[in-house]
Structures are given as C-alpha cells and as structure tokens.
Amino acid sequence: MPADSPFVALSHPERLVPVQVDGKELMLPEGENLAASLLAAGVRSFRETPVSGAPRAPFCMMGACFDCLVEIDGIQRQACMLSVTEGMDITRPRGATHG
C-alpha cells in the first residue's frame, strides 16, 4: 500500500493483478471493488468534469452519484460498481471532451 494514500486496507489481499491507469501499471487486489482498490492504491482523482474540468473522486460508493466514472475499453463506467480484473485498461476522463 503506498504510504501517501489517505486510505488504509485492514487486511492484505490474496492476489494482486496488474491493471493500467492512464498507461501506468498498478497492482490491485483481484475481484475487489475497483473504486475502493484505486483509492487504497493512492489514486486521488478519478476524472475531470466535462463542464469545468474539476477533479472528482468517489462520493457515494453505491452507484448513485456517477463521480467515480472512469473509461474502460472506451466506455465510461462507474468504478464503484465494478470488480478488479487482470489487465483492465483504465483511462481517467479529462475535461470537457466527454458528455
């Protein structure tokens, strides 16, 4: 766990798998919630808003706020509603290009 994450994980994951976040490799616990795993790995901002480009991160963790939207295989999806799978290719949506 990176020392600079504002979050701690209470237990140690069984199996870490590589995923790509904006082209950088991160090792995340397989099968665990994607948003929680990214937060624990020290990812602070998940996306920039289409309106002002402001950074956002998970707010509700229950699929209601859509602030955890990331792009996976070209489709914007809620990270809090997904599990970590090996080789996920995640892009953080940037600024006003997406609607």
Partner 1 sequence: MAEFDLAIIGAGPAGMAAAVVAEKAGLRVALLDEQQRPGGQIYRDVSRASADRVRVLGADYSYGAGLTTALAESGVQHIHGAVVWAVEDGFRLSYTANGTAAQVSAQRVLIATGALERPMPLPGWTLPGVMTAGAAQILLKGSGVLPQRAVLAGSGPLIYLVAAQMVRAGVPPLALVETQTRGDLSRALRHLPGALRGWRGLAKGLGLIRELRRAGVKRFTGADRLTVEGTDKAEALCFRAGGEDHRIACETVLLHHGVVPNTQVARSIGVSHRWSSAQQAFTPVLEAWGGTDRPGLFIAGDGAGIGGAMVAELSGRLAALKLAEEAGHLSISERDRRAAPLLRARSRELAIRPFLDAAYPPYPGALRPDNDTLICRCEEVTAGEIRQTAALGCLGPNQAKSLTRAGMGPCQGRYCGLTVTSLLSETTGQSPDETGYYRIRPPLKPVTLAELAAMAETGATDPEGE
By CB under 8 A, name the binding residues for partner 1.
6-11, 32-33, 36-37, 39-40, 44-46, 49, 51-52, 54-67, 69, 75, 80-81, 83
CB of 72 to ligand FES, least distance (A): 13
Q: List residues near ligand FES by CB under 6 A.
A: 35, 58-61, 63-68, 78, 80
CB 23 within 8 Å of CB 16: no
Question: CB-wise, 41 or 68, nearer to ligand FES?
Answer: 68
Sorted by sequence, the CB contacts under 8 Å of residue 3 that are 6+ apart come out as: none
From residue 79, alpha-carbon distances to 33, 74, 90 in Å are 8, 14, 10
